Structure 1
Amino acid sequence: MYNPTVARLTYRALLGRRRALILCTLPALLIVISIAIRLMTGADDETADSILGGFALSVMVPLIGVIAGTGAIGPEIDDGSVVYLLAKPVKRPTIIVTKLFVAVGVTMAFSAIPTLIAGLILNGNSQGIAGAYTSAAAMASIAYSAIFLLLGTITRHAVVAGLVYALVWESVFGTYVSGARQLSVQQWALAAAEKIGQGDLITSDVGLPVAVVLLVGVTVAATWYAGQKLRSLTLAGEE
């Protein structure tokens, strides 16, 4: 279910000069903000929780997921070059799973690692906050990558749809609307962070067992459906 050639081509597409610059922007901003706050206010657990939860997890992780998830396959479908990939003797589910691995790897590298660095800068991992949010970012990266990879296979406006989802649903409804939090990847990831962190700063509206089931379920379902859409795209091209 993993093809090194497909992975190499996908990494090359995602980490091209322009896209890599975009991917680096938010992590760099997070670290700069963290340094500035630490210099101005010193180490503070509540501030670290606010920055890591309010910016890193709710804004940076889903936006990087949009870039990596949709970029893993969307451009190939838009410009028609996916035809050359589909002509190769590689199973369609293998293509999707390989691209998901790449998208997850890129999303984690540009979100979980900067989150850890920012957390260590802000409060030195006091109360386990840096580690908790890093774990949450890593878990969210998997689900976001699958969701946005699916969007890349079903619409030519995947980036726009992904941005609406990331900025409106996750950042607004997932943070401030209590009923919507049950269906928010951010809240599912926070359930793990709440378990890992110490103290009562990190909270989630979703229990950890339910959160794990939902994270796994959404990831598997989105990956499966993306494979089905790619399979139907092949059939349409052959016809």
Structure 2
Amino acid sequence: MNATIAKLALQALLGRRRFFLLLAFPVLLIGLVALVTALVDGEAAYEILPGLGYPLVLPLVAILAASSVLGPEVDDGSIVYLLSKPVNRYAVAASKWVVALAATLAAGALPVLVAALVTGDSTRAGALFLGAAVAGTAYSALFLAISAVTRHAVIASLMFVLIWESLLGNLFTGIAWLSIGQWGLRVGHAVSDELPDPANLPYAVIASAVVTVVGVWFAGDRLRSFSVKGDD
């Protein structure tokens, strides 16, 4: 972890247009849930969260956060100048991941909690927040790794979320064992059994941790190759 790198990553995140999208998603989610709660009831409004807020808004926020802290530097080649400094490459990756994670939790997981609380069930809200925090942690690491590999990180990450996590995940139950979002739901199920129980709890925790560690490590390893080759 390098405080200077983290500060630069935060400035990059806050100084780009993507930051406004980052804010728009949670605002729209909370507003929609509040509107449905007022017009119908809390139960109807809650259905928005596992159907839209958790599986779509959360990963989209993680994509925007991870791609903003690293992707632009890869795109314009300035990553080479950053890596010319005597800073451990894995520390660079870890610092950027911490910033991406903080943004994901603040603009992705926390709004899910607030929206769930609006529906009136605090236990269910806490469970969904725990699941969102676990999934957001793994998502941010995975999307950071993707940002270190390709200039088209946003497109590649979106394809992963829309095709693997959403489309195939809804068609084949076995994909729950290889789905970050489903792992988070399983952890949340430990707090409230109203959430789905798609996989084994120890497996979900270990798999989420492995994806997080490997994702950050891979991003650092990729950055190390940048410094050697001097290319993107």
TM-score by length of 2: 0.95
SS at match of 1:72: helix
Residue 220 of structure 1 corresponds to which residue in structure 2?
Answer: 213
Q: How far apart, in 2, do the equivalents of 1:101 and 1:23 lie?
A: 16
What percentage of aligned pairs have identical amino acids?
40
2:99 aligned partner, one-letter code: V
Q: How far apart, in 1, do the equivalents of 2:191 and 2:171 lie?
A: 23
How far 1:172 sits from its partner (Å)? 2.0
Residue 92 of structure 1 corresponds to which residue in structure 2?
Answer: 89
1:146 aligned partner, one-letter code: A
How far 1:24 sits from its partner (Å)? 1.1
Q: 2:146 aligns with which of 136, 151, 154?
A: 151
Asked if the contact 1:174/1:186 (under 8 Å) is kept, the reply is: no
Q: 2:136 aligns with which of 134, 141, 149?
A: 141
How far 1:47 sits from its partner (Å)? 4.4
Q: 1:61 aligns with which of 54, 58, 61?
A: 58
Unpaired runs of 5+ residues, structure 1, are none
Q: 1:119 aligns with which of 116, 119, 122?
A: 116
How far 1:138 sits from its partner (Å)? 0.9
Equivalenced residues, count: 231
Q: How far apart, in 1, do the equivalents of 2:110 and 2:170 lie?
A: 23
CA RMSD of aligned residues (A): 1.4
How far 1:72 sits from its partner (Å)? 1.5
Residue 3 of structure 2 corresponds to which residue in structure 1?
Answer: 4
Q: 2:98 aligns with which of 96, 101, 111?
A: 101
1:1-239 matches, within 5 Å, as: 2-44=1-43, 47-48=45-46, 50-125=47-122, 128-197=123-192, 200-237=193-230
Q: How far apart, in 1, do the equivalents of 2:75 and 2:16 lie?
A: 20
Runs of 4+ in 1 over 6 A off after TM superposition: none
Asked if the contact 1:173/1:181 (under 8 Å) is kept, the reply is: no
Q: How far apart, in 1, do the equivalents of 2:102 and 2:10 lie?
A: 10
Q: How far apart, in 1, do the equivalents of 2:168 and 2:222 lie?
A: 29
